[in-house]
Structure 1
């Protein structure tokens, strides 16, 4: 729930002067929030600020800290996240510790927003092309999932869960692709995407049937009864290798209850997509690294295979284009991404079966 320490030349620095308004967007609000902490603050760097979330690096007498505006809609949701973080920390997962307020609270609520302060982590993100760092990252993911077993959302919290929702999600993606395929659309993007809308719609439906016949429901029930969390964005940008060579996990904003396959699919897709196609040998090694720490049964590995083969990335891109959500993307960039993703999605079937020895 923190960021790694920034390099000074990358950030505009603001000196906080007592009695004067902070010269940043939301400056007055930030001053009030930070006033709830027993800190001597000398300066602040804004990393990012969006409608629902924001991150600031704070120079204090206790060292470099991170102030975060949490993207939650209720205190009950925040309690779920904070309880999950405590559970993971108590079981050895390195997540930056929170700094309590003067009154001992874990957060501050101001103007309808929720804020937390945590220690910053100095280090560097793992690199997907360095196998040693990639292996450490995959093993850290497995340790994260293993440590999450036994977590139960406490009373007074609002649980986030994706358990049991995959078949409905798969069906929804198939319907969306069918609707786009059935509408006449002009332009190079739709001319290129058109045939694949039907191809991948059919794949969505086929994989939904495979999911329904797989060990998916048993795995869901196992997590429902025994507890289990997914990070949802266990990527290099949210991880820091510290001076001891250990991986620290950042940005737990999206924690959800679900089976581990959700995170495994996202991590493997990120790594493989950068290579342009699904590398069967690397895929086999990544699954082996994971299973060294958190073993998966043959049925569970089959569920991982199904979710990896599902065209999540293609669905995401055409949905983004259709809904006009890429305001900062040119038409050419959309077309290049589409060509890359079609090539990657088309490589997964054979690569996954080879990786799993099928």
Structure 2
């Protein structure tokens, strides 16, 4: 499987077939870019070609490698490239980066940076299987702990979200207020009718989460981590992890990494997964948390900060954003389910806080 081949939670590719002409263009692009590396390509496969982040599998006489065009601003791309190199050299299971002929970890072609990685073979994790779920959470903990000590080279900007959670909460609450105006313009739409009836309560809940966060150890923990931060993947999950031979847990696609509290990645893994069941699955919740803590234990105060963050209506926000920003024609039932999940989630988390 490709180092960056995106898959759904069912393990199926999200790619659409390319035309013969497009495939030829992308193959030609890869041939041009690969001149920057000391590689003899015997065969070039376009793995991901319908998105700006392009991926090729390059077959050489010494095995396969992965060529990728990173679809990020150059400064952000450099931060993640050097982070991946740091982790690989430290022994973390991330694809090692092959140096170009000029000794750099990348080459620039047009407006984008291109990188060549080791090709990783493995299978996606199946999160309905307890053993897989434990493996993927253990891999996240190992990623966080291994990343401590990374600092980008001079001239490469630091990307951090440390200390920015309060602003994120405020911004989202304001957006949910603003979207009421859009709902009022669609008075005959059942989704918008329900939104106007119910949303004020959840906006107030979001503001309450902010108050709780500021009264917790969030600020002191953030200040502490600024001296020796860990990376957060920001997009950790089944599409960006693989289980290799001998139960090796590989973490791939590090394009979005930044410094932040490690619990950000936990929240992004745990809360959306539990949202698929319609009820609060306490057993799965603790399987994930306990598996993570086998490699990276959290203090009671740190877990309290995580539970507070989990209270914020992120999943509800995403549904509403899909409706009013992306203009998706969502039914009323979609919003009803989102409201109910937030209620169920809050009832489960409040006793923990």
Deviation at 1:107, TM superposition (A): 0.8
Contact residue 85 and residue 95 of structure 1 kept, 8 A: yes
Contact residue 5 and residue 120 of structure 1 kept, 8 A: no
Inter-CA distance 248–317: structure 2 relative to 1 (3 Å threshold): same
Q: Which segment is superposed worse, 100-109 or 200-209?
A: 100-109
Q: Which segment is superposed worse, 305-314 or 95-104?
A: 95-104
* 1:310 and 2:309 correspond: no
Contact residue 47 and residue 55 of structure 1 kept, 8 A: yes
SS of alignment partner, residue 114 of structure 2: strand
Residues 227-251 of structure 1, C-alpha deviations (whole Å, 9 max, x = no match) = 2110001101110000211110010
SS of alignment partner, residue 175 of structure 1: helix
Residues 279-313 of structure 1, C-alpha deviations (whole Å, 9 max, x = no match) = 12321232222222111111110110011111112
Candidates 342, 346, 350, aligned match of 1:349: 346
2:324 matched to which residue of 1? 322
2:72 matched to which residue of 1? 72
Tell me, in whole angstroms, the C-alpha distance in 2 between the residues paired with 1:46 and 1:340.
39
Inter-CA distance 138–23: structure 2 relative to 1 (3 Å threshold): closer
Inter-CA distance 78–209: structure 2 relative to 1 (3 Å threshold): same
Residues 128-167 of structure 1, C-alpha deviations (whole Å, 9 max, x = no match) = 1111110111111111111122222321111111111110
Deviation at 1:26, TM superposition (A): 4.2
Tell me, in whole angstroms, the C-alpha distance in 2 between the residues paired with 1:99 and 1:249.
17
1:173 matched to which residue of 2? 172
Tell me, in whole angstroms, the C-alpha distance in 1 between the residues paired with 2:99 and 2:207.
49
Contact residue 80 and residue 254 of structure 2 kept, 8 A: yes
Contact residue 126 and residue 132 of structure 2 kept, 8 A: yes
2:41 matched to which residue of 1? 41
2:118 matched to which residue of 1? 119
Q: Which segment is superposed worse, 213-222 or 250-259?
A: 213-222
Tell me, in whole angstroms, the C-alpha distance in 1 between the residues paired with 2:43 and 2:198.
52
Deviation at 1:336, TM superposition (A): 5.1
Counterparts of residues 217-256 of structure 1 (less than 5 Å):
217-256=219-258
Tell me, in whole angstroms, the C-alpha distance in 2 between the residues paired with 1:192 and 1:24.
50
Deviation at 1:325, TM superposition (A): 5.5
Contact residue 3 and residue 121 of structure 1 kept, 8 A: no
Inter-CA distance 117–335: structure 2 relative to 1 (3 Å threshold): farther
Tell me, in whole angstroms, the C-alpha distance in 2 between the residues paired with 1:51 and 1:128.
26
1:134 matched to which residue of 2? 133
Residues 23-77 of structure 1, C-alpha deviations (whole Å, 9 max, x = no match) = 4344443221022222222333323335642222222223222211112222x43
Q: How many residues align?
A: 344
SS of alignment partner, residue 226 of structure 1: coil
Residues 204-223 of structure 1, C-alpha deviations (whole Å, 9 max, x = no match) = 10000001111101111121
Deviation at 1:79, TM superposition (A): 2.8
Contact residue 101 and residue 107 of structure 1 kept, 8 A: yes
RMSD: 2.7
Deviation at 1:14, TM superposition (A): 11
Contact residue 22 and residue 28 of structure 1 kept, 8 A: no
Deviation at 1:317, TM superposition (A): 2.0
The TM-score with structure 1 as length reference comes to 0.87
Tell me, in whole angstroms, the C-alpha distance in 1 between the residues paired with 2:309 and 2:28.
46
1:18 matched to which residue of 2? none
Tell me, in whole angstroms, the C-alpha distance in 2 between the residues paired with 1:199 and 1:155.
47
Inter-CA distance 318–13: structure 2 relative to 1 (3 Å threshold): closer
